[in-house]
Amino acid sequence: MRHKSVIYDTIIENTFLVIGLVCLFFLFLIMFFLFREGIPIFKTVGVFDFILGDSWYPTSEVPRFGVFPLIVASIAVTLLASVIAVPFSLAIAIYLSELARPTVREVVKPTIEIIASIPSVIIGFFGMVVVAPLLQEHFDIDTGLNLFNAAVMLAFMAIPTIASISEDAISSVPVSLKEASYALGANRWQTIFHIIVPAALSGIWTAIILGISRVIGETMVVLMVAGGAAVLPGSIFSPVRPLTSNIAAEMAEAPVGGEHYHALFAIGIILFIITFCFNIVADYLSNKYKFKEN
Amino acid sequence: MKASAAVIEKIMFALIRVSSFVIIAFLVFMIGYIIKSGASAIDLGFFTEMPRNEMTQGGILPAILGTFYLMVGSSIIAIPIGIVTAIYLTEYAKSPRIVKVIRLGINNLAGVPSVVFGLFGLSLFVVFLGFGTSILAGSLTLGVLNLPVIIRSTEEALLVVPGTYREASLSLGATRWQTIYKIILPNALPGILTGVMLSLGRAAGETAPIMFTAAAYYTPELPTSIFNEIMALPYHIYVMATAGTHIQATRHLQYGTAIVLIALVLALNMTGLILRYRFRKRLKG
């Protein structure tokens, strides 16, 4: 009887192991299908011409598949969004972990978490119908749908991610460091700035990298707000067309199995590789410098 | 010197408070503005009627149903696989190597951009397996997307169950599976439900993964099989706001749909967060 249940237990363990490998299997399938559908474009266009080519005319008589303007757009939007998001996120993280009274914290923390759960299409919609007209009027520009608007909306989306991981990092700094700093006569700000934040820096970097990785991969906001022009941006108020929005905007018109279809999958490969690298780095950072709890 | 340090501290703390307040104010303004602009569109008919006159009038019933089907469909895929994976990782796995590899897979799956999931779903489910643009293809795509959400919440829930429960059960002669099934899972249930709620919210709100795999601009009839394409709330907002000839005329309907989607997603997420909060409190106490 007992013997039977032990065998039963072993069977379950092995079945669960197989199911546990399903995630890996799907990750492998994603890579396999991206490459299967994306590689064929490189028969028509060389890898370097694809990445560094400066014109994207996928449907013209002689199609051109150069994604450089799209890559630049993705980088520009991401950088600007990070520049906006990081200071706000750190402020929130410090506020929650060091300044806020417990009762205030109980309200503010979930409120920030709510931002993370708002669907991106809603944020894109708001940027499009509310923020864009405001920008257009205020700055006297041709269109409010541009790089700057997209970066602001993306920054808003990234803030909860960066803030909450940074807060965890800041909260896990040992109290003894803080006490030592106070004992030496430092005030609270000096302690935060010179002791706590540097001690939590690796966690904060992990937070920023994960935030950036989310911003690069975000689709709906840039699709609706960035303006959609596949040319190199001249200013922060230029309309741009990042990689993600390009896939979303054109896939419906690209005939399955055609050059355009393959080119869009090749853009998917680029996105996959970029976010994959960011995640590996974040993973590495968060494992390497964890404070050992004792 | 001392005085200036105190002044700097005051200024920095003020900046920190103001920055935090600005972000919350922006959130409140955004949701408030959408509610104010869309409230007029919402009545009972908005939930129960089909769209009429090229979607310039009538309700959003097909989009609500479509989103509901996608939520159910993706859960059928993600919940069992996700929970089993989490149980394996926390309760069974002995080799740290295997755990590391599986975890690497989960983390990277979580980091894949949603539009890339769309490409994956299009090439595998829609084209290669021949499901077409359909509820089935969309549910499978969203199911894979949601796996990491379920796994992480379930893992967290299982880890919070005290080790003494396991030891007590094992020492009474129970096998590991008996311990998991009778002791650990019941105790972790609220935490697991948190993950389920979060994943349902995500399935309801994601647009990019369903654009090429499930969603249609307009369907004259409600779906009758899992191979039908469907309308869905987030995609409906997107196409109404960006395509077609009545973008301005249907603005209030767009806001109305946005309210429905926000309400749905926030309700699911808040239920999840409250469950998690209570669960943590109970096991601590």
| Residue B40 in domain | no
Query: How confident is the model over A178-224, as pLDDT tens digits?
Result: 999 999 999 999 999 999 999 999 899 999 999 999 999 999 999 99
pLDDT along chain B (285 residues), means of 10: 81 95 96 94 90 83 96 96 94 88 90 95 96 96 96 92 91 90 91 93 95 90 91 95 85 94 95 83 67
Mutate one of A7, A11, A23, A209 to test the B interface: name it (highest B CB count within 10 A): A23
CB B160 within 8 A of CB B283: yes
**B25 touching chain A per CB within 8 A:** no
Range of the domain at B207: 62-284
Which pLDDT score, from 0 to 100, does residue A247 have? 96
The structure tokens 């920023």 sit at: A208
| Residue B226 in domain | yes
Give the CA dihedral B277, B282, B283, B285, nearest 10 degrees.
120
| Residue B170 in domain | yes
Which pLDDT score, from 0 to 100, does residue A140 have? 85
Contact A125 B241 (CB under 8 A): yes
Query: Is the model's pLDDT at A292 over the cut of 60?
Result: no
| Residue B159 in domain | yes
Mutate one of A9, A19, A86, A125 to test the B interface: name it (highest B CB count within 10 A): A125
Which pLDDT score, from 0 to 100, does residue B285 have? 53
How many domains does chain B contain in total?
A: 1
Contacts of B91 (CB under 8 A, 6+ apart): B158, B176, B180, B184
Distance in Å, alpha carbon of B199 to nearest chain A alpha carbon: 10
**Which CATH number fits the domain that encloses residue B155?**
1.10.3720.10
Contacts of B115 (CB under 8 A, 6+ apart): A217, A219, A244, A247, A248, A268, A271, B208, B209
The phi and psi torsions of B50 (rounded to 5 degrees) equal -80, 155
| Residue B180 in domain | yes
Q: Which residue of B has its CA nearest to A28?
A: B105
**Residue B58: in which H helix or E strand, if any?**
strand B57-58
Which pLDDT score, from 0 to 100, does residue A294 have? 36
Contact B178 A21 (CB under 8 A): no
Q: What is the mean pLDDT of residues A273-277?
A: 93
CA-based end-to-end distance of chain A: 44
Which pLDDT score, from 0 to 100, does residue A80 have? 97
Strand partners, B230: B215
The structure tokens 């769309």 sit at: B118
Which pLDDT score, from 0 to 100, does residue B56 have? 78
Which pLDDT score, from 0 to 100, does residue B276 have? 82
Query: Is the model's pLDDT at A156 over the cut of 50?
Result: yes
Angle CA A98–A100–A106, to nearest 5: 120
Domain A47-288 CATH superfamily: MetI-like (1.10.3720.10)
The whole-chain average pLDDT of chain A stands at: 91
Burial class (CB in 10 A: 0-12, 13-18, 19+), B53: exposed
| Residue B18 in domain | no
Q: Which residues of A touch B258 (CB under 8 A)?
A: 122, 125
| Residue B220 in domain | yes
The phi and psi torsions of A237 (rounded to 5 degrees) equal -105, 15
CB B113 within 8 A of CB A218: yes
ipTM of the complex: 0.92
Pairing of β A64-65 and β A56-57: antiparallel
pTM value is 0.92
Query: Measured between alpha carbons, how far is residue A258 from residues A13, A52, A275 in Å?
Result: 45, 22, 26
Mutate one of A92, A121, A131, A278 to test the B interface: name it (highest B CB count within 10 A): A121
- Distance between CA A76 and CA A78 in Å, rounded? 5
Query: Measured between alpha carbons, how far is residue B23 from residues A78, A115, B258 in Å?
Result: 19, 9, 21
CB B213 within 8 A of CB B122: yes
pLDDT band at A289 (very low <50, low <70, confident <90, very high): low
Query: How confident is the model over A52-80, as pLDDT tens digits?
Result: 998 999 988 888 999 999 999 999 999 99
